[in-house]
């Protein structure tokens, strides 16, 4: 459990340090940005987390290609990544089709979409690959490998997936109307960063992300690397990104409860589908042969 708590401590410390420097940094850049101090806490917190992440890798003795999942040759890595990308596009593409069919996320007319379609696809794929590489290096690279050192697969998968879902709802809020940036208000923002958990409206999204984390952890375990995992993650993000541009949410739909407020794509429907896919994958996909 040491690795798990080291990573939790890393995130909390990064947020604390970010809040501490938030006011002076915001004062320096406020004339060149339209983002509030709450956005800066998130950005600077991620920057503070980078050296801490590297320190943890060395602390746990996993600062190497094999443990982080990058041990494949470049051709093999690319081939696995592309296979995973296809799977991610297929899984979330199917979800997008169902959401459109149910009129939860109806697709805009072709005349509106067509002029921007190429740009939408390119931006979605680039965004997906960037997020896939960064997040999977952290979650299924360092975090999963660190826990897996001293625990079995299921413990490692559950803990890393809980952490993965937890991270998505760290949400520093904007200052109330009339309040301005200050040292004290930076810590007010920090104190309300986890309010989404108290408000109770995140659990459908949390469950969906937890099950996705379990699926990605299973892939990581079965392949022994993170190439396929990066591809799956990239494909899913690409669909979510592109889908947002071509299919707005129908807030009057009677079935809107099937999607979460998190991104209006994942939710109870995707959680049910992922649970089924996780079970099928566990029993059929690259399943290790039993020893005689």
Q: What is the pLDDT of residue 289?
A: 56
Residue 91: closest CA among 278, 244, 285, 221: 278
Structure tokens at 269: 């429907």
- Tens of pLDDT, residue by residue over 106-141, are 999 988 899 999 999 999 999 999 999 999 999 999
* Number of helices followed by number of strands (H, E) in the chain: 13, 0
Indicate the average pLDDT of the chain: 94
Structure tokens at 96: 């997008």
Average pLDDT over residues 23-42: 88
- Tens of pLDDT, residue by residue over 142-185, are 999 999 999 999 999 999 999 999 999 999 999 998 888 999 99
Domain boundaries, the chain: 2-171+179-284
- DSSP codes of every residue in 92-118: HHHHHHHHHHTTSSPPPPHHHHGGGHH
- Least confident range from 29-33, 45-49, 119-123: namely 29-33
How far is it, in rounded angstroms, from Cα 113 to Cα 130? Answer: 24
């Amino acid at each position: 459990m040491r690795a798990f708590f080291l990573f939790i401590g890393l995130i909390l410390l990064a947020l604390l340090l970010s809040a501490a420097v938030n006011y002076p940094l915001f004062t320096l850049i406020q004339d060149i940005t339209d983002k509030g101090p709450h956005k800066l806490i998130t950005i600077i917190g991620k920057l503070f987390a980078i050296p801490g992440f590297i320190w943890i890798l060395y602390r746990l003795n996993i600062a190497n290609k094999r443990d982080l999942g990058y041990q494949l040759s470049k051709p093999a890595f690319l081939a696995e990544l592309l296979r995973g990308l296809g799977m991610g596009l297929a899984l979330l593409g199917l979800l997008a089709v169902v959401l459109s069919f149910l009129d939860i996320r109806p697709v805009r007319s072709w005349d509106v979409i067509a002029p921007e379609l190429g740009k939408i696809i390119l931006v979605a794929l680039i965004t997906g690959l960037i997020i896939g590489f960064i997040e999977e290096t952290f979650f299924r690279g360092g975090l999963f490998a660190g826990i897996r050192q001293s625990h079995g697969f299921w413990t490692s998968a559950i803990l890393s997936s809980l952490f993965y879902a937890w991270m998505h709802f760290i949400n520093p809020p904007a200052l109330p109307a009339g309040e301005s940036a200050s040292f004290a208000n930076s810590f007010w923002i920090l104190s309300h960063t986890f309010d989404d958990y108290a408000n109770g409206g995140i659990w459908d999204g949390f469950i969906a992300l937890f099950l996705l984390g379990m699926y990605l952890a299973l892939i990581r375990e079965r392949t022994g690397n993170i190439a396929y995992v990066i591809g799956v993650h990239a494909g899913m993000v690409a669909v979510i990104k592109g889908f947002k541009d071509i299919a707005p949410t129908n807030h009057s739909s009677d079935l809107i409860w099937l999607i979460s407020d998190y991104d209006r794509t994942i939710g109870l429907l995707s959680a049910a589908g992922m649970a089924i896919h996780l079970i099928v994958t566990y029993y059929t996909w690259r399943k290790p042969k039993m020893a005689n």
